[in-house]
């Protein structure tokens, strides 16, 4: 008997390491793969048990799951009390499973039964997400696919590291329809995200109906149409039509909130004040220091010439914001409201008589304290409506509001400072979490700015060494959309970096393994393909790093994020393939006399896998002097 048990263990180990059939993202806390499989078919029953079997949330989850299975397989799972072959969902509050808390689950698959146990309905939902990842990729198709539906036998115990696991979508720079927002939420739910940060206002569009001020959407939601690179557009011309934009009615908002709630995602609304407020000021010119009439910004270069900052000395500003946030608070169940607070150009305040009067009255020594006065007043306003304030890390300037939560984007410094003051923090440093940045070599990417590679996102940790983890709520990825004007491009910028971030925020830190993640990420690609989701393959592209040799001549080294790729190159302006010179690890390439560029491509197992790109000597020289910020 001992020999049989040992043989079974060895076989299980072989399956786990050499022939893994399980590629779940984010990586579960505990997982054991076993031999055998459960075959989903038309005879599979669904059994729902536990104290909360009639709970509305669980009933909604069961309906969502049965609809999902029926859409892809054609099988309509029937609920029964008992069956020889079943998927069993159990809510059982058990002292031994306290570590699961409200979002954790235990999943067991045997040849005759699938069992998901959890303390609460959201744990069942996350267990079902993992179960779907165990099925073949066609389970993600939006049409019925004929075939077999095996589920590998496995034991999983899983729970999140952080309670705040978010993605932000900026709908101000470019408007995304109600159905597009729902699709984005669907994609988040698959990877156990639970917070959708909705950036609803900025200089470039006001996107939410406020019944007290219909002019906000009548005027602030629309702008002139421009195509090209953001920041270079021609400013609005006198009398030019403003057809570009859109907004969500309050009924739209309620519908999307309910849609997200059904997927255990809470929506964090953001109304960005006191800066980034040009769309509000367009509708209400009296709210700025200059009180001039401006147009909604189309992405031109007049940001500092236009007064996009609310006048802190003007009492009308607070009267308007009180009504705006009254309606926001009534719509959104999230205990937090995000007030922005970032990138306020303070020059207009310095020259504004009303702001100077406010500073004198409140004994504020400078414009930083003036901004702090505004944020603290906003916190009291939100508290009076039963909400808590969260803002970007600039809200630290001049003194942090007493109970404010800080979203740290300018690196980790602001988050560290806030945590050491015993304030809660959401970590979202731009160089690890900004999804609008370049993902790889700029010559092979749509134009944007900065750089955040897949490995940057995967290898960062939200908890700095000197900070108590209890103050770090979690983190999120942020997709600003200046250069993202369609859902397809939003998906391209979001995935797969948000696969990496999902693992950062959910999985135990000790289980982080880059090579294993890449294997599991590649197993997700057929699933994304089946779902029609666009994603980037930038991590397969070569990385060109400039340098100098002993004589000061320009050199370049080549590398890849993903191991096991072959790099081929040429200096003669031709297109390299596997018959061209192959780069050897560590080589320092020097440009031949007369060569103006190097052209590079990557292969794996004899097949092209990365994008070909050419980079000039001039660009490499710039990178030497300006670093990663040249991107």
Looking at the predicted structure, is the pLDDT value of residue 16 above 50? no
Residue matched to tokens 């320009």: 554
Domains of the chain: 2-158 (3.30.379.10), 164-531 (3.20.20.80), 541-630 (2.60.40)
| Cβ atoms of 482 and 436 closer than 8 Å | yes
Mean pLDDT calculated for residue range 510-519: 97
Looking at the predicted structure, is the pLDDT value of residue 493 above 50? yes
**Per-residue pLDDT reduced to its tens digit, 64-104:** 999 999 999 999 999 999 999 999 999 987 645 578 999 99
Least confident of 3-12, 59-68, 160-169, 596-605: 3-12
| Cβ atoms of 521 and 498 closer than 8 Å | no
State the chain's mean pLDDT as an integer: 93
**Per-residue pLDDT reduced to its tens digit, 234-265:** 999 999 999 999 999 999 999 999 999 999 99
Looking at the predicted structure, is the pLDDT value of residue 5 above 50? no
Mean pLDDT calculated for residue range 488-515: 98
Predicted confidence at residue 36, as pLDDT, reads 97
State the Cα torsion 325-328-329-333 to the nearest 10°: -160
User: To the nearest whole percent, how much of the chain has pLDDT over 90?
Assistant: 90
Going by the DSSP 8-state scheme, the letter that residue 550 receives in this structure is: T
- Residue 474 bridge partners (DSSP): 164, 426
User: To the nearest whole percent, how much of the chain has pLDDT over 70?
Assistant: 94
Mean pLDDT calculated for residue range 319-337: 98
**Per-residue pLDDT reduced to its tens digit, 405-434:** 999 999 999 999 999 999 999 999 999 999
Mean pLDDT calculated for residue range 175-202: 98
Looking at the predicted structure, is the pLDDT value of residue 221 above 60? yes
Sequence-ordered list of residues with C-beta below 8 angstroms from that of 529, at least 6 positions apart, any chain: 137
pTM equals 0.95
- Residue 556 bridge partners (DSSP): 546, 589
Strand order in the sheet with 45-50: 30-40, 149-158, 105-109, 113-118, 86-91, 45-50, 78-79
Residue matched to tokens 């409200």: 102
**Per-residue pLDDT reduced to its tens digit, 192-201:** 999 999 999 9
- At 627, the pLDDT band (50, 70, 90 cuts) reads low
User: E strands of 191-296, at which residues?
Assistant: 195-199, 201-202, 205-206, 222-223, 244-245, 266-273
Looking at the predicted structure, is the pLDDT value of residue 15 above 90? no
User: HSE of 131 in the Cβ direction (CA atoms, 13 Å)?
Assistant: 28
Looking at the predicted structure, is the pLDDT value of residue 19 above 90? no
Predicted confidence at residue 14, as pLDDT, reads 36
- At 503, the pLDDT band (50, 70, 90 cuts) reads very high
CA dihedral sign, ordered 432, 438, 441, 442: negative
- At 631, the pLDDT band (50, 70, 90 cuts) reads very low
Predicted confidence at residue 303, as pLDDT, reads 61
| Cβ atoms of 514 and 459 closer than 8 Å | yes
Mean pLDDT calculated for residue range 467-495: 97
Residue 505: how many other CB atoms lie within 10 Å = 26
**Per-residue pLDDT reduced to its tens digit, 345-382:** 999 999 999 999 999 999 999 999 999 999 999 999 99
**Per-residue pLDDT reduced to its tens digit, 111-157:** 999 999 999 999 999 999 999 999 999 999 989 999 899 999 999 99
Mean pLDDT calculated for residue range 32-45: 97
Mean pLDDT calculated for residue range 504-528: 97
Predicted confidence at residue 4, as pLDDT, reads 38
> Looking at the annotation, which residues are catalytic?
343
């Amino acid at each position: 008997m001992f020999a049989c048990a040992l043989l079974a263990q060895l076989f299980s180990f072989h399956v786990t390491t050499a022939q893994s059939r399980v590629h779940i993202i984010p990586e579960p806390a505990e997982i054991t793969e076993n031999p055998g499989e459960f075959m989903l078919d038309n005879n599979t029953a669904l059994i729902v048990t536990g104290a909360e079997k009639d709970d509305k949330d669980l009933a909604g989850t069961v309906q969502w799951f049965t609809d999902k299975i029926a859409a892809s397989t054609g099988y309509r799972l029937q609920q029964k009390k008992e069956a020889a072959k079943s998927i069993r969902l159990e809510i059982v509050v058990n002292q031994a499973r306290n570590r699961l808390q409200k979002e954790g689950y235990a999943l067991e698959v045997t040849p005759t039964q699938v069992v998901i146990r959890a303390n609460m309905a959201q744990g069942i939902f996350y267990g079902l997400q993992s179960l779907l990842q165990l099925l073949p990729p066609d389970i993600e198709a939006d049409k019925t696919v004929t075939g077999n539906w095996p589920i590998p036998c496995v034991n999983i115990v899983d729970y999140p590291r952080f309670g705040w696991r978010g993605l932000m979508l900026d709908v101000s720079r470019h408007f995304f329809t109600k159905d597009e927002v729902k699709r984005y939420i669907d994609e988040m739910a698959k990877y156990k995200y639970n917070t959708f940060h909705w950036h609803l206002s900025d200089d470039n569009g006001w996107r939410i109906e406020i019944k007290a001020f219909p002019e906000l959407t009548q005027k602030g939601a629309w702008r002139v149409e421009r195509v090209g690179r953001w920041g270079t557009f021609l400013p609005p011309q006198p009398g030019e039509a403003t057809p570009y934009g859109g907004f969500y009615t309050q009924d739209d908002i309620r519908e999307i909130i309910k849609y997200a709630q059904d997927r255990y995602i809470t929506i964090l609304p953001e109304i960005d004040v006191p800066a980034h407020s040009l769309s509000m000021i367009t509708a209400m010119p009296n709210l700025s220091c200059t009180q001039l009439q401006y147009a909604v910004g189309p992405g031109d270069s007049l940001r500092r010439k236009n007064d996009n900052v609310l006048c802190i000395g003007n009492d009308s500003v607070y009267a308007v914001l009180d009504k705006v946030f009254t309606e926001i608070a009534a719509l959104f169940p999230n205990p937090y409201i995000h007030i922005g607070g970032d990138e306020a150009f303070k020059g207009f305040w310095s020259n504004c008589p009303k702001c100077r009067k406010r500073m004198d009255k409140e004994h504020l020594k400078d414009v930083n304290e003036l901004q702090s006065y505004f944020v603290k007043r906003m916190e009291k306003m939100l508290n009076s409506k039963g909400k808590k304030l969260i803002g970007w890390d600039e809200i630290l300037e001049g003194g942090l509001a007493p109970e404010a939560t800080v979203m740290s984007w300018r690196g980790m410094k602001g988050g560290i400072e806030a945590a050491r003051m015993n304030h809660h923090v959401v970590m979202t440093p731009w160089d690890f979490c900004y999804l609008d940045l370049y993902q790889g070599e700029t010559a092979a990417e749509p134009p944007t700015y900065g750089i955040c590679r897949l490995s940057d996102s995967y290898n960062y940790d939200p908890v700095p060494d000197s900070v108590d983890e209890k103050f770090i709520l979690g983190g999120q990825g942020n997709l600003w959309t200046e250069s993202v004007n369609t859902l397809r491009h939003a998906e391209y910028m979001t995935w797969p970096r948000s696969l990496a971030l999902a693992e950062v925020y959910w999985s135990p830190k000790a289980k982080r393994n880059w090579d294993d993640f890449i294997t599991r990420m590649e197993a997700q690609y057929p699933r994304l393909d089946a779902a029609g989701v666009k994603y980037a393959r930038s991590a397969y592209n070569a990385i060109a790093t400039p340098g100098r040799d002993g004589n000061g001549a320009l050199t370049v080294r080549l590398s890849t994020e993903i191991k096991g790729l072959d790099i081929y190159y040429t200096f003669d302006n031709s297109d390299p393939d596997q018959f061209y010179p192959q780069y050897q690890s560590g080589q320092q390439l020097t440009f031949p006399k007369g060569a103006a560029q190097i052209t590079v491509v990557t292969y794996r197992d004899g097949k092209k896998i990365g994008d070909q790109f050419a980079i000039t000597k001039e660009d490499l020289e710039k990178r030497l002097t300006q670093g990663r910020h040249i991107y």
